[in-house]
């Protein structure tokens, strides 16, 4: 059986880590694409030379032309620029929007049957633009953010409780920005919801509030430490989990930026909600009943994403014609 082809558009920090993980997990062959000449070729060769040491079989190639992604089963997009300390993800909108238009055209031409995972920020608006520019079905184009934000929440909680990360579940919904919504009620340790753990004296409400806050600022915390870029190991691992669920039809239930057409009362927008990912792409949108403060926070987050989508429409009205 021929191996699946996985195309990585953008061969920077996340792109390189993605390629490494695809190799180590033997998920398929990798084509790394970038506009920077030599970078995808160099990274692909370096990674290929690690394969005899780690014992994985994976063909890794680099390219500066979209033809190379032809026939890809999965395309993961990290092309664009990351933020620097002091910037918000939203400050990247106009520069990365242009990139999404180019990338969308490349995918439309050479990989129209692919499952596409967008990572480029500001995430929810960029995946919206990428879907418009590529014209691929909505269920085949998703954004990676919720898996990452939930992983951060899970890690902080596991650390607080001194338990295995494996036993902590969490859901962070909404847009991937300052307004994201960590759902305390639906986050658990071995099935025990966080509010019960507060009652049981495992932690205090104020400590839990601090962890929620740290989760919301998880990206900025790393940007401020690195100073020259943003997180890449956990973002890459998160996108690989999504790609794996598609490639192996695992039907994992994960929070992703998915296209909503009435679900959660949202129309024609991508926002972070739980979905089932299988070999048809997004196979189901899981509609959790949100009430009280959670609903308020979710609506606020949706409004923030809506503002960014409106900005995209103004800058690139041609997207609406696709």
Ligand X SMILES: NC(=O)c1ccc[n+]([C@@H]2O[C@H](COP(=O)([O-])OP(=O)(O)OC[C@H]3O[C@@H](n4cnc5c(N)ncnc54)[C@H](O)[C@@H]3O)[C@@H](O)[C@H]2O)c1
Binding site for ligand LMR (CB under 6 A): 82-83, 89, 121, 176, 218-220, 222-223, 230-231, 235
Choose among 182, 160, 156, 155: nearest CA to 171: 182
Q: Residue 176 catalytic?
A: yes
The residue from 20, 138, 176, 322 that is catalytic is 176
CA angle 252/257/262 to nearest 5° reads: 100
Choose among 98, 116, 137, 127: nearest CA to 9: 116
**Interatomic CA distance for residues 295 and 304, integer angstroms:** 14
Residue 109 vs 293, nearer CB to ligand X:
109
Among ligand X, ligand LMR, none, the one that 36 touches (CB under a kind-dependent 5 to 8 A) is ligand X
Cβ-closest residue to ligand LMR? 219
Instruction: State yes or no: 215 annotated in a binding site.
Output: no
DSSP state of 116: E
Sheet (strand 281-285) strand order: 60-63, 29-33, 5-9, 74-77, 115-118, 141-143, 252-261, 267-278, 281-285
At its nearest, how many Å lie between ligand LMR and the CB of residue 176?
Answer: 6
**Interatomic CA distance for residues 117 and 114, integer angstroms:** 9
At its nearest, how many Å lie between ligand LMR and the CB of residue 67?
Answer: 30
Which residues contact ligand X by CB under 6 A? 9-15, 34-36, 39, 78-83, 92, 96, 99, 102, 119-121, 123, 144-145, 148, 176, 229-232, 235
Instruction: State yes or no: 10 annotated in a binding site.
Output: yes
Instruction: State yes or no: 11 annotated in a binding site.
Output: yes
Among ligand X, ligand LMR, none, the one that 95 touches (CB under a kind-dependent 5 to 8 A) is none
Residue 121 vs 134, nearer CB to ligand LMR:
121
**Interatomic CA distance for residues 114 and 192, integer angstroms:** 38
**Interatomic CA distance for residues 172 and 1, integer angstroms:** 38
**Interatomic CA distance for residues 246 and 249, integer angstroms:** 5
| Residue stretches of the annotated binding site | 10-15, 34, 83, 89, 96, 119-121, 152
| Residue stretches of the annotated binding site for substrate | 83, 89, 121, 152
Residues tagged active-site: 176
| Residue stretches of the annotated binding site for NAD(+) | 10-15, 34, 96, 119-121
């Amino acid at each position: 059986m021929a191996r699946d082809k996985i195309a990585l558009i953008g061969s920077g920090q996340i792109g390189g880590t993605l390629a490494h993980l695809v190799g180590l997990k033997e998920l398929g062959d990798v084509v790394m694409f970038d506009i920077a000449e030599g970078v995808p070729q160099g990274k692909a060769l370096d990674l290929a030379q690690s394969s005899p040491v780690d014992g994985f079989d994976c063909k890794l190639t680099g390219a500066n032309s979209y033809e190379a992604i032809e026939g890809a089963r999965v395309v993961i997009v990290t092309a664009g620029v990351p933020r620097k300390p002091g910037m918000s993800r939203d400050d990247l909108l106009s520069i990365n929007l242009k990139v999404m238009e180019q990338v969308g055209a490349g995918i439309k031409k050479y990989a129209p049957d692919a499952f596409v995972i967008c990572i480029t920020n500001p995430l929810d608006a960029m995946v919206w633009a990428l879907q418009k520019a590529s014209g691929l079905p909505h269920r085949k184009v998703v954004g990676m953010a919720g898996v990452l934000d939930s992983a951060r929440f899970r890690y902080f909680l596991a650390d607080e409780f001194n338990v295995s990360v494996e036993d902590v579940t969490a859901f962070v919904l909404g847009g991937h920005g300052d307004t994201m919504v960590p759902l305390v009620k639906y986050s658990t340790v071995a099935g025990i919801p966080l509010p019960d753990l507060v009652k049981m004296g495992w932690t205090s409400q104020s400590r839990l509030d601090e962890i929620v806050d740290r989760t919301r600022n998880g990206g900025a915390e790393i940007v401020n430490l690195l100073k020259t870029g943003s997180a890449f190991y956990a973002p890459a691992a998160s996108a690989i989990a999504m790609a794996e669920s598609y490639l192996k039809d695992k039907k994992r239930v994960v929070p992703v930026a998915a296209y909503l057409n009435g679900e959660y009362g949202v129309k024609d927008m991508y926002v972070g909600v739980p979905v089932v990912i299988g070999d048809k792409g997004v196979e189901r949108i899981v509609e959790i009943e949100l009430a009280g403060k959670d609903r308020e926070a979710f609506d606020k987050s949706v409004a923030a994403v809506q503002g960014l989508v409106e900005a995209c429409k103004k800058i690139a009205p041609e997207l609406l014609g696709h």
